[in-house]
Amino acid sequence: MQHPSSVIVGDAPLTPAEVVSVARHFARIEIAGAARERVAAARAVVDGMAADRDPHYGVSTGFGALATTFIAPERRRQLQLSLIRSHAAGTGNEVETEVVRALQLLRLQNLASGHTGVRAEVVDTYAAMLNSGITPVVREYGSLGCSGDLAPLAHIALAAMGEGEVRIVRPLATASDRMPAADALASAGIEPLALVEKEGLALINGTDGMLGMLVLALHDLDKLLGTADVAAAMSIESQLGTDAVFAADLMALRPQLGQAASAANLRAYLGDSPMVASHKGPGDGRVQDAYSLRCSPQVHGAARDTMAHAAMIAERELASVIDNPVITSDGRIESNGNFHGAPVAAVLDFLAISVADVASVSERRTDRALDPARSHGLPPFLAHEVGVDSGLMIAQYAAAGIVSELKRLAAPASVDSIPSSAMQEDHVSMGWAAARKLCRAIDGLTRVLAIEIVTGARALDLRAPLQAGPATGAVRDLVRTVAAGPGPDHFLSPDLEAVTELVRSGAVLRTAKEHVNV
């Protein structure tokens, strides 16, 4: 996926690649001219309502359960200020920089839609903060995924007002210092916002946090599911499995798209393997391989199909305007429920289930390679001197421990709801929680696949003089640049961490693809 060096906001819905580019690669933000015109028109509507004697929610009333309380004009700026200060109530660990930047960007996209009623100054301030690397400190807990990701978004707004704490984060920087938001804005030449009617509400009503994490997760899963096929190929090959079960005509009997894609990858990675060819034909007495080998396309494919569904939801959400109340195209201001995170929360949970399943089948392939009763001739635990050396025994323990946690993380967050705001907000999505656990699950899957790849690489080496195929052999050689091959036991953790980074960066998948036509 190519990542643009600059992103125009307000011209068209943001693409997933643009979100990743800003969140991770610090692409610069530009505001489309047409967006400025829409913003000005919507602001004029709000200004007209602010002068109206009749109450309008978010303009001249309180919020949530206080929506019936009329606020006098001279108190409305204090109302906006109090809203942000009170809602910036996050607690826990800091959220990752990339998540905060995605959060900032997606709220900016909503502000630039011309449906929220903020002034142009607000749009420009959010863009300037992103371009200056000003990353507000956002805490782990505080969002129920309904009425928007309120607390996380309030921390962003608080920083734009020159309050709270931020970090100045630059591309490729390994660390950043926390500082008062006022100092960061001053150093960047950004004037702190003084919010007026409707603006505080517009800054915090959105699914931007859970959506940002969904987009980042989908980007990572695209690499990881491709890498899962590579890892499976290494396991099948080194355990002397067959590739006949992945034939295209067999896959066509069950026309699941994800399954067909994974099977095509396995055929490509195994098709030119001398190791696979060495036991083909009537001399191979095994009727069929175990499920974890034979059914890899079915498991990986189900995850691919889940990801495709989640990507569709993400693209729809990227094209959405989330605010309450919202300024309609014909100049009305209307309350609505579009801030409810249910659509996003559901697919975040769905993905967590698929992540756990892919990791589970990966760990089972790893375990087979270490068991001499099932590995077809490999030494126990792939150890150098059996009994003296333990080989990769405890690497499998690590994978099993991660998989066990992934199963717990697969329990859906979106089925829970705790009423809030004096029962005004009596059903919430818990989408932020679903996103947070998916982030952790993706890290776990990355590590489980790395352990399978370390295991598969060593097993391929131990099959010598049989040779691996071009793709799997190239991945084995890549692993050898950061991790030792067969031999006496050594400190294993650095090897696993290094190969995990090869998986996370996409290097494993790129290397495999360079040697086949997929």
d(C-alpha 162, C-alpha 107), whole Å: 18
The total number of residues written for the chain in this structure: 518
Q: How far apart, in whole angstroms, are the C-alpha atoms of residue 2 and residue 466?
A: 38
Q: Could you tell me the strand order of the sheet in which 134-136 lies? A: 134-136, 165-168, 178-180
Q: Which residues pair with 192 in a beta bridge?
A: none
- Between helix 208-238 and helix 16-25 the angle, nearest 10°, is 90
Distances (CA, A) of 274 to 120, 185, 470: 64, 62, 9
Residues 428 and 441: their CA atoms lie apart, in Å, by: 23
Kindly give, in sequence order, each residue whose CB lies less than 8 Å from that of residue 239, ignoring residues fewer than 6 positions away: 289, 293, 365, 368, 369, 374, 375, 376, 378, 459
DSSP assigned state of 465: T
Q: Are 368 and 374 in contact (CB under 8 A)?
A: yes
Cα distance between residue 48 and residue 72, in whole Å: 15
Contact by Cβ (8 Å): 470, 516: yes
- Estimate the crossing angle of helix 342-370 against helix 296-318, to 10 degrees: 160
* Cis status of the peptide bond prior to 325, with omega within 30 of 0: yes
**Do β-strands 165-168 and 134-136 pair in parallel, antiparallel, or remain unpaired?**
antiparallel
- Catalytic site includes residue 141: no
Question: CA–CA separation, 400 vs 290, rounded Å?
Answer: 19
Return the exposure string of 161-175: e unless at least 16 CB atoms fall within 10 Å of the residue's CB, then b: bbbbbbbbbeeeeee
Residues 55-68: b if buried by 16+ CB within 10 A, e if exposed? ebbbbbbbbeeeee
If DSSP states are collapsed to H, E and C, what string results for 307-324?
HHHHHHHHHHHHCCCCCC
Measured CA to CA in angstroms, residue 166 lies from 113, 138, 208, 462, 491 at distances of 26, 9, 19, 52, 39
The Cα–Cα gap between 398 and 496 comes to: 10
Indicate which residues carry an active-site annotation: 57
